[in-house]
């Protein structure tokens, strides 16, 4: 588990990048799961997590992505 306190003016992308950097120091990243609330969703963050081989679950708003909106169920893997 990793937690950061920062001024309200710090954007979520910056905080997400700091979390990822902090987790890189841990030995076994196969056992790590990044849980991202709706406000963290961005294609930049998804790309960063995928490039670093990270597993993640991300809650997104409607119309975030057409492939997600096309899911027949309210949850799914895209």
Instruction: Please tell me the predicted confidence (pLDDT) of residue 30.
Output: 64
Is 68 part of any domain?
A: yes
Q: What is the pTM of this model?
A: 0.69
Is 6 part of any domain?
A: no
Instruction: Please tell me the predicted confidence (pLDDT) of residue 28.
Output: 66
Among 26, 73, 21, 77, smallest CA distance to 49 is for: 21
Instruction: Please tell me the predicted confidence (pLDDT) of residue 62.
Output: 80
Instruction: Please tell me the predicted confidence (pLDDT) of residue 27.
Output: 66
Is 62 part of any domain?
A: yes
Q: Per the structure, how many domains does the chain have?
A: 1
Mean pLDDT by runs of 10 across the 78 residues of the chain is: 84 83 73 81 86 86 81 73
Is 63 part of any domain?
A: yes
**Which residues share a beta bridge with 75?**
none
**Spatial CB neighbours of 52, under 8 Å, sequence gap ≥ 6:** 20, 24, 29
Is 48 in a helix, a strand, or coil?
helix
């Amino acid at each position: 588990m990793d937690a950061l306190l920062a001024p309200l003016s710090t954007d979520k992308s910056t905080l997400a990048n700091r979390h990822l950097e902090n987790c890189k120091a841990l030995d076994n990243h196969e056992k790590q799961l990044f849980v991202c609330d709706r406000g963290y969703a961005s294609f930049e963050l998804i790309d960063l997590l995928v490039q670093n081989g990270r597993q993640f679950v991300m809650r997104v708003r409607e119309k975030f992505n057409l492939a997600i909106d096309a899911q027949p169920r309210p949850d799914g893997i895209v």
